[in-house]
A and B are shown apart, each in its own frame.
Chain A
């Protein structure tokens, strides 16, 4: 989910280019080789290497979710909002930040600081939440889950319809910005629907997220203006990726004892 890239920083030379995932296809040039042709101002002693977070691309083309989520909406939401969070996070980590080097999940839990969030929390958590969100959707999504995931939902909610109702109601009863989640509660060993405000994430309380839905206004305003009801229903009917949920549940089973494993791993 997280992509770390190497970046060479040389003190006397021009600004290093920040590699993005799209740059992977281009041949990697090592600038030092060009320097040998001229007076080298490159001192081996002052070479520093930083690793930064890059913006992960959604696992589908930006127009693949049309007509339910437009290409323009994704270009804004992913290309601008999500990218801004990544850039802001990198800027914070640059300044000898003590949490530099942690993984995303570690940083989310650590910077949440039991409800007294550190300055990096908002950026870290929003980057994580959005990564999770793109992967919680797929083209031709929606419909119903099958197999072990469906069985677990029926066990914990009574029926898929009851779960859907609860999820939609949670999404529509927000008092501000936030996210709606289907989580696997580690203590209670069952699935549940939770709402979190602003950037908060179920990882902060030790639960395992399975699916999420962005209920910040920027997520739906472009396509649906203030019509949240339509947005949430379209997400459930056409966008949510039960494939992703199955994979995440299979992984979650290794951490939470749900009895005899029923969710297929393959």
Chain B
């Protein structure tokens, strides 16, 4: 519901504060109403996804970081290592969802409009056409077993666009340190179940109507070497 205040340097709104020297993260506000993405994504899903799921990742991420801080202060190496999976999962969940909210925008504000400019040109060059890219992402997203994400990424080293999937809440960097996530689509069941039940392909087909290509284009131009 709340409008996110514009910052001079556009950030992901990861939003963090500091308490006793330890950085804590907080849930970023959505730049649109929960029901603004209908009928592609229902208001009920957006509300649960943001207020419950993403909030849980943030809470557990902060908890894990606090425990990490304690373990490091005590020099407890086994505990530090043991916390890594919780940090990767919850931190990844926070990062991925923060990107996801930016990747979406209501149709009447430009959602679904194909990218023009350098990103549009790069898509045509690497994939043949915009439709082919969508097809590829839909296929990979539908084929993903269990929970995960499907990404359009920029490989900064190889200077090309890639379509990748990651499992669970693994961020895109786990597939390559030089990968920058331009666009991510959540294919965990909680992202679509209440509206699309088990028909993930329908969700993937419809979500393109609310994808914010302007954000992806700006990020591409910024990160392109």
| CB neighbors of A among B83-138 (8 A) | 85, 89
Given contacts A217-B190, A226-B48, contact A198 B198 (CB under 8 A): no
Residues of chain A lying within 8 A (CB to CB) of residue B167: 176
Given A221-B190, A225-B48, A226-B56: A81 and B198 within 8 A (CB)? yes
How many residues on A have C-beta within 8 angstroms of the other chain's C-beta atoms?
A: 19
> What A residues does B56 contact at CB under 8 A?
226
- Write the nearest CB–CB distance from B201 to chain A, whole angstroms: 12
**B168 and A226 within 8 A (CB):** no
Interface presence of B145 (CB below 8 A): yes
Known: A80-B197, A81-B198, A221-B193. A177 touches B52 (CB 8 A): no
A197 touches B197 (CB 8 A): no
Contact indicator A122/B145 (Cβ below 8 Å): yes
Q: How many A-B residue pairs have CB under 8 A?
A: 50
State the CA gap A122–B85 with chains docked (Å): 25
Residue of chain B at shortest CB distance from A121: B145
Contact A175 B190 (CB under 8 A): no
The verdict on B212 contacting chain A, using a C-beta distance below 8 Å, is no
For chain B, residues 50 to 99, give those with C-beta under 8 angstroms from any C-beta of chain A.
52-53, 56, 85, 89
Out of B52, B85, B197, which one reaches A226, CB within 8 Å?
B52
Given contacts A217-B189, A221-B189, contact A177 B147 (CB under 8 A): yes
Q: Is the CB of A176 within 8 A of B147?
A: yes
Determine the interface band of chain B, counting residues with CB < 8 A from chain A. 20 to 34
A163 to B52, CA, bound (A): 29
State A198–B145 Cα separation when bound (angstroms): 7
Known contacts A84-B198, A221-B189, A221-B193; is A177 also within 8 Å of B48 by CB?
no
A residues within 8 A CB of B147? 176-177, 217
Contacting A at CB under 8 A, from B20-47, are none
Q: What is the bound-complex CA distance between A220 and B89, given in angstroms?
A: 21
Set B52, B89, B188, B197: member contacting A225, Cβ < 8 A? B52
Return chain A residues, CB-CB under 8 Å to B146: 176-178, 197-199, 216
* Chain B residues proximal to chain A, CB less than 8 Å: 48, 52-53, 56, 85, 89, 145-148, 167-169, 188-190, 193-194, 197-198
23 contacts between A and B (CB under 8 A): A76-B198, A80-B197, A81-B198, A175-B85, A175-B89, A176-B148, A176-B167, A176-B168, A177-B146, A178-B146, A198-B145, A198-B146, A199-B146, A217-B147, A217-B188, A218-B193, A221-B189, A221-B190, A222-B193, A225-B194, A226-B48, A226-B52, A226-B190
7 tightest A-B CB contacts, nearest first: A217-B189, A176-B168, A198-B146, A177-B146, A175-B89, A226-B52, A176-B147
Chain A residues close to B by CB (< 8 Å): 76, 80-81, 84, 122, 175-178, 197-199, 216-218, 221-222, 225-226
